[in-house]
Structure formats: structure tokens, C-alpha cells
Amino acid sequence: MEDRTSTVVIPTEKEVKKNEAIKLLAEMIRKYSLSLNTNKES
């Protein structure tokens, strides 16, 4: 069995870029749904 606490996982550049893209996408979706909600109410 591996001791996972001792291994430090260094994210690769690709993984970091993917995570940033996911964050951006989530933010865009959140803003979009917010604007949809405000349009419905008015």
C-alpha cells in the first residue's frame, strides 16, 4: 500500500490550464444564469 501523505502531487501545466478554463467557464455560466434570472423578473 502506498503512503499517499508523503507524495506531493505537483499539478502539470496542462492540468492547471484545464482547471483555470473550468473556473472561467463556471463563472461565465453563473453570470449568464444570473442575467437570465434578472430578465425573467423584470
Instruction: State which amino acid sits at residue 35.
Output: S
Can you give the pLDDT at residue 30? 96
Contacts of 9-17 with CB under 8 Å at 24 or more apart are none
Domain hosting residue 19, numbered range: 12-42
- Answer yes or no: is 42 within a domain: yes
- Answer yes or no: is 22 within a domain: yes
Can you give the pLDDT at residue 40? 76
- For the chain, the domain total comes to 1
Can you give the pLDDT at residue 39? 81
- Answer yes or no: is 33 within a domain: yes
Question: What pTM did the predictor assign?
Answer: 0.57
Can you give the pLDDT at residue 15? 92
Task: Give the integer Cα–Cα distance in Å for 20 and 17.
Answer: 5
Can you give the pLDDT at residue 24? 97
Per-residue pLDDT 10s for the chain (42 aa) are 566 666 777 889 999 999 999 999 999 999 999 999 888 776
